[in-house]
Amino acid sequence: MAEGVQEISARVAATAGAGVEECWMEVEGARMRYLRAGSGPALILLHGLLGYSFSWRFTMPALAPYATVYAPDLLGAGFSDRAFALDCSMRATAKRVVRFAEQLGLPSFDLLGTSHGGAVAMMAADEFLASGSRLKLNRLVLVAPVNPFSSHGKRLAPFLGTPLGAALFRLTFPRMPFLFAYWHRRMYGNRNHIPPGTLEGYMAPLAIPGLFEHGLKIVRTWTQDLAELETILPKLASLPTLLLWGSSDPAVYASSARPLAQFFPNSQTVIFPGIGHLPYEECSEEFNRALLEFLARTRVPA
Residue 236 has pLDDT above 70, yes or no: yes
pLDDT in tens, 143-164: 999 999 998 767 778 777 788 8
pTM (whole model) above 0.85: yes
Sheet holding 267-272, edge to edge: 21-27, 30-38, 68-72, 42-46, 108-114, 136-143, 241-246, 267-272
Half-sphere exposure in the Cβ direction for 163 (13 Å, CA): 0
Residues 33, 34, 35, 39, CA torsion sign: negative
Q: Please, what is the average pLDDT of the chain?
A: 92
Given pLDDT bands bounded at 50, 70 and 90, which one contains residue 238?
Answer: very high
Residue 166 has pLDDT above 90, yes or no: no
Q: Of 5-9, 43-47, 276-280, which gets the smallest average pLDDT? A: 5-9
Residue 301 has pLDDT above 70, yes or no: no
| Across 246-269, average pLDDT | 97
| Across 218-240, average pLDDT | 95
Q: Are 89 and 63 in contact, with CB atoms under 8 Å apart?
A: no
Strand duo 136-143 + 267-272: pairing:
unpaired
| pLDDT recorded at residue 261 | 98
**Measured CA distances, 60 to 44, 83, 162 (Å):** 10, 27, 37
| pLDDT recorded at residue 2 | 52
